[in-house]
Amino acid sequence: MIRAFLFDLDGVLTDTSEYHYLGWKRLADELGVPFGRAENEALRGVSRRESLLLLLAGRPASEEQLQEWMERKNEYYVEYISQMTPADLLGGVTELLADLRASGYRVAIVSSSKNTPLVLDRLQIGGLIDVVVDGNAPARSKPAPDLFLLAAERLGVLPAECLVVEDAAAGIDAGKAAGMRTLGIGPRERVGHADLVLPNLEGTSAKSILKALEG
C-alpha cells in the first residue's frame, strides 16, 4: 500500500531542467565543447559534478578547473531561477499536492540539486510538503538510492510504501534501487522502465495515479 509520494523537483514540479540545460550549454559554448539537447539527456537528475564530467566526455581538466566551471554554470543557473514565481509550477502540480495533503498521504521532495531550497522558496509550496531531501545531504546522488531511502526514513514509512515521481532515467533507477514503486514523467524512451509512465501531472489525483499503478 502506498502511503507516501516522493517527488523529484527539476522537470517534475517545475521546468528548471530547461534552465540546467541552458546553464550547461552556455558553459560548453564558452569551453568550445560540443553539447546539445541529445547530450543533455544523460545529465538529467545527476549531480553537478557528474554532469560536468559527462559534458567534458573524458577531456582532461584539473580539480581547480572543474571547480571553476561548476561555479560558473551554477552562477548562470541561479541567475535563471531567481526570476521564478509560483506561476512556474507545472500544470496539475498544485492540485495534486493539495489532494495528497487532503487525502492524508505523506509528501517529500527528493532532488539531487543543492539549489532545492532556493527553488522551493520561489515556488512557495513549502506548506504542502512534509520532508525535503536534496543535494546538500551527506549521501550519494541519484542513481544511488540514498536520497530516496533518507526521505522514507524521515517520513517514517517503508520503501515499499513509497511512490517515486521522476522525469530522469537516473531517478527511476534510484527509486527502483531503493525498492520503491516508480512513476515516470515524460517520454518512454527516457522513463519507460518505470512502473507507470505519464506525460505530465496535469489532471492527476492520488486516486487516479494509484488506480493506474495497480492497473
Options 6-14, 50-58, 69-77, 149-157: segment touching Mg ion (CB under 5 A): 6-14
Residue where the block lists cell 522502465: 193
Site string for Mg ion, 131-170 (x = CB under 5 A): ------------------------------------xx--
| Count of residues that bind Mg ion according to CB under 5 A | 6
Q: Residue 81 or 157: which CB sits closer to ligand BG6?
A: 81
For residue 154, CA distances in Å to 49, 110, 134 come to: 26, 12, 13
The type of residue at 18 is E
Question: Quick one: 10 or 173, whose CB is closer to Mg ion?
Answer: 10
Shortest reach from residue 133's CB to ligand BG6, in Å = 12
Kindly state the cell numbers that stand for 88. 512556474
The answer to whether 10 contacts Mg ion (rule: CB under 5 A) is: yes
Query: What is the pattern of x (binds Mg ion, CB under 5 A) and - over residues 34-63?
Result: -----------x------------------
Give the Cα-Cα-Cα angle 154, 16, 205 (nearest 5 degrees).
60
Which string of b and e fits 103-132 if b means at least 16 CB within 10 Å? eebbbbbbbbbebbeebbebbebeebbbbb
Q: Compute the distance between CA of residue 99 and CA of residue 142 in angstroms, rounded to an integer.
A: 27
Q: Is 99 a catalytic residue?
A: no
The C-alpha cell that represents 104 in the structure block: 492524508
Query: Site residues (CB under 6 A) for ligand BG6?
Result: 9-10, 17, 20, 43-45, 47-48, 51, 74, 111-115, 135, 168
Return d(Cα 19, Cα 11) in angstroms, integer: 10
Q: Give the residue, chosen from 8, 99, 134, 173, that forms a contact with Mg ion under the rule CB under 5 A.
A: 8
Question: Would you say 98 or 177 has its CB closer to ligand BG6?
Answer: 177
What is the spatial distance between Cα 87 and Cα 124, in angstroms, rounded to a whole number? 10
Does 10 participate in catalysis according to the annotation? yes
Residues involved in catalysis:
8, 10
* Interface residue list for Mg ion (CB under 5 A): 8, 10-11, 45, 167-168
